[in-house]
């Protein structure tokens, strides 16, 4: 390694390790806010020492050991050191300091899992869960989160501070959820990760790079979670869904930044590695039928078709049918209508759409327009695309709908 500015190295290593460090410290001190402060102190120490003394032989271990010493100091200042020693069951009169660190050392995986369940705790608002998760598990700075969410630094900083205070005030224990709450709590974790993914997925070309990079961050968190909780099928379902959706990122915008619909994408540009990883993750769901797994199965059907006309719409329609039972929503029904229209008969798809109540949702008239066009009812189809264009706030979507309307002659 060169002797040049070690600052980027310190910051990269810290970012790679910060979640594990915060997680370990949170267990030691029982407070995520304090844990984060102590972790930040460690970064400052590294930034001071490494340039002067050189980068340690094992930078990650150095950071963890230094952070734990800070935590032990903090506990001692609070007079809680003895109590902590008792807790870890090594309370002999001449217990050595490192014993605490060693005893508290072994369960980094569980620590991370506890931390994710804490940052995604239901006492926090959804926005707070997202921000705190990105901060503590993603290692993103307040400024980065603000940029990613097109919010002000002050607003995001306040959201994070308030979230940490809420966790402390409500005395939320940093622990795995009790069995009775496990399903609901896991659902919250998965929701937070998928929200982060979708925020990145909705970013358009030309925007600040940090927004699309939220997809990568969500995928990373999902992969981490899949290692920590390998027996939860829906974790693999979510990972599969994100891998498969991310596989289309290279194909879903044109050179001018315009959105390209699934059926019009150049499928040679799909990321084969992500498709393979998504398909493998789907195998780990072992035939379960959770909402993420079902959505991933649908995405896998698209991924398996090298041409749009090869798409197995019958299977997709059947999967949407199941999804509509497992996780009913008008959006699911709208997608089911598309699948049924393609698999069986546009008229049947239209009948489903006509039963839906989705006010001001531009994709509803767009889907109607598509089904009507397939039935040869072009004048009605044009009207629907015009309605969709008038309804959407997204300029690129509007262009798309206007083009469809113009094509209905």
Partner 1 sequence: MRYLIMLKGDRPAAPPPPELMEAIMNLGAEASAAGALLDTAGLSPSAAGARVRLYGGQLSVTDGPFAEAKETISYALYQVRSKEEAVEWASRFLALHRDLWPDWQGEADVLKVMGPEDFG
Give the binding range for partner 1 (CB under 8 A) out of 194-202, 218-226, 293-301, 354-362.
218-226
The candidate with the shortest Cα–Cα distance to 117, out of 191, 213, 169, is 191
DSSP for 5-70, please give it. Answer: --HHHHHHHHHHHHHHHHHHHHHHHS-HHHHHHHHHHHHHHHHHHHHHH---SSHHHHHHHHHHHH
Residue 135 Cβ, how far from partner 1 at the closest point, in Å? 15
Q: Is residue 227 close enough to count as binding partner 1 by CB under 8 A? A: yes
Q: By C-beta, is 19 or 104 nearer to partner 1?
A: 19
In the set 32, 116, 193, 219, which binds partner 1 (CB under 8 A)? 219
Binding flag, residue 209, partner 1 (CB under 8 A): yes
Contact status: 1 vs partner 1 (CB under 8 A): yes
**Contact call for residue 283 and partner 1 (CB under 8 A):** no
112 by DSSP, 3-state: which?
A: helix
Residues 248-277 that bind partner 1 (CB under 8 A): 249-250, 257, 273, 277
Tell me which residue has tokens 């767009």.
Answer: 366
Residue 335: CB atoms within 10 Å? 22
**Considering only CA atoms, which of 158, 117, 110 is closest in space to residue 136?**
117
**98 close to 21: Cβ distance less than 8 angstroms:** no
Q: What is the DSSP string of 147-213?
A: HHTT--HHHHHHHHHHHHHHHHHTT--SSPPPHHHHHHHHHHHHHHHHHHHHHHHTPPTTS-TTTTH
61 binds partner 1 (CB under 8 A): no
Task: Please state the closest distance from residue 206 (CB atom) to partner 1, in A.
Answer: 6
| Interacting residue with partner 1 among 4, 53, 57, 360 (CB under 8 A) | 57
- CB closer to partner 1, 100 vs 235: 235
Among the residue ranges 28-36, 207-215, 323-331, 391-399, the one whose residues contact partner 1 (CB under 8 A) = 207-215
Nearer to partner 1, 153 or 207 (CB): 207
Binding region for partner 1 (CB under 8 A) = 1, 8-9, 11-13, 15-16, 57-60, 109, 205-206, 209, 212-213, 216-217, 219-224, 227-228, 249-250, 257, 273, 277
């Amino acid at each position: 390694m060169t002797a040049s500015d070690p600052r980027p190295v310190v910051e990269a290593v810290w970012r790679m390790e910060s979640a594990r460090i915060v997680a370990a410290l949170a267990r030691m001190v029982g407070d995520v806010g304090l844990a984060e402060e102590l972790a930040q102190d460690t970064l400052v120490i590294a930034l001071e020492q490494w340039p002067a003394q050189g980068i340690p032989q094992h930078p990650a271990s150095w950071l963890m050991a230094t952070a734990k010493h800070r935590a032990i100091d903090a506990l001692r200042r609070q007079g809680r050191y003895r109590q902590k020693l008792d807790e870890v069951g090594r309370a002999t009169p001449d217990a050595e300091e490192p014993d605490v660190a060693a005893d508290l050392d072994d369960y980094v995986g569980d620590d991370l899992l506890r931390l994710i369940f804490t940052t995604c705790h239901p006492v926090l608002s959804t926005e707070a869960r997202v921000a705190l998760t990105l901060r503590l598990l993603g290692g993103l700075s307040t400024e980065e989160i603000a940029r990613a969410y097109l919010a002000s630094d002050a607003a995001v900083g306040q959201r994070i501070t308030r979230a940490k205070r809420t966790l402390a005030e409500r005395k939320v224990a940093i622990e795995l959820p009790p069995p009775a709450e496990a399903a609901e709590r896991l659902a919250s974790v998965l929701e937070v990760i998928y929200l982060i993914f979708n925020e990145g997925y909705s970013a358009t070309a030309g925007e600040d790079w940090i927004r699309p990079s939220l997809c990568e961050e969500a995928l990373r968190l999902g992969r981490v979670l899949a290692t920590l909780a390998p027996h939860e099928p829906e974790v693999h379902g979510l990972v599969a869904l994100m891998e498969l959706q991310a596989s289309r990122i290279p194909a879903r915008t044109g050179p001018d930044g315009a959105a390209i619909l699934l059926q019009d994408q150049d499928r040679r540009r799909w990321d084969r590695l992500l498709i393979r990883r998504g398909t493998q993750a789907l195998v780990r769901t072992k035939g379960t039928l959770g909402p993420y797994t079902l959505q991933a199965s649908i995405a896998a059907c698209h991924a398996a078709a090298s041409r749009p006309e090869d798409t197995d719409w019958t299977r997709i329609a059947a999967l949407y049918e199941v999804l509509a039972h497992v996780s009913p929503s008008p959006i699911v029904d709208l997608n089911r209508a598309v699948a049924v229209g393609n698999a069986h008969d546009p008229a049947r798809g239209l009948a489903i759409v006509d039963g839906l109540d989705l006010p001001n949702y531009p994709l509803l008239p767009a889907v109607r327009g598509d089904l009507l066009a397939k039935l040869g009812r072009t004048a009605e189809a044009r009207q629907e695309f015009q309605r969709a264009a008038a309804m959407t706030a997204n300029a690129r979507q509007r262009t798309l709908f206007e083009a469809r309307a113009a094509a209905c002659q």
